[in-house]
Amino acid sequence: MARDDSMKLTAATLGRGVVRPRDYCLFVHDEAMVVPVYSDQDQSVVVWNLEPGQENTLHVHAANAHSIVVLQGSGVYLRGEDEEAAITAGDCIIVPRGTAHGIRNTGDGPLSYLAFTTAGEGGYVRGAVGS
């Protein structure tokens, strides 16, 4: 996974708080790209950008809940090891704490999604499925 922190906002740089998530749609052809938008002690906001065939692999956050809004493209939402749901621009995905999840771009064009994550107890912790 590639990461670009160059546009990450802080409380001091947030201004009026109006953000255009499409400005964070940045892609790298050889791996998924995550672009942090904002974080504080309670939440994290990032944009994930996936070229066709790329994915945010199946993982779990024991103490973190997510809300995801698909900004562009299409793909599948992976929920657990055996469940998939088709997703497309405009869809909203709710991921409860402790739920194994991931996103795969199965479309012909780029897929971007905006993810809001709670900090949870102990902060943001991403773990492998089964841990």
Q: Is residue 123 part of a domain?
A: no
The CATH number of the domain holding residue 74 is 2.60.120.10
Total tally of structural domains belonging to the chain: 1
Q: What is the pLDDT of residue 48?
A: 98
State pTM to two decimals. 0.90
Secondary structure string (H, E, C) spanning 4-64: CCCCCECCCCCCCCCCCHHHHCCCECCECEEEEEEECCCEEEEEEEECCCCEEEEEECCCC
**pLDDT, tens only, 21-36:** 999 999 999 999 999 9
Q: Is residue 126 part of a domain?
A: no
Angle CA(32)–CA(125)–CA(76) in degrees, nearest 5? 40
Sheet holding 33-39, edge to edge: 2-3, 33-39, 43-50, 111-118, 66-72, 92-95
> Which stretches of the chain drop beneath a pLDDT of 70?
120-131
Evaluate whether 26 touches 49 at the Cβ level (below 8 Å). yes
Longest dimension (CA), the chain: 43
Q: What is the pLDDT of residue 41?
A: 79
CA dist 107 and 7 (Å) reads: 27
Q: What is the pLDDT of residue 40?
A: 86
CA dist 84 and 82 (Å) reads: 7
Q: Is residue 131 part of a domain?
A: no
DSSP designation for 109: S
Task: Supply the range of the domain harboring residue 61.
Answer: 2-11+25-118
Q: Is residue 77 part of a domain?
A: yes
Q: What is the pLDDT of residue 47?
A: 98
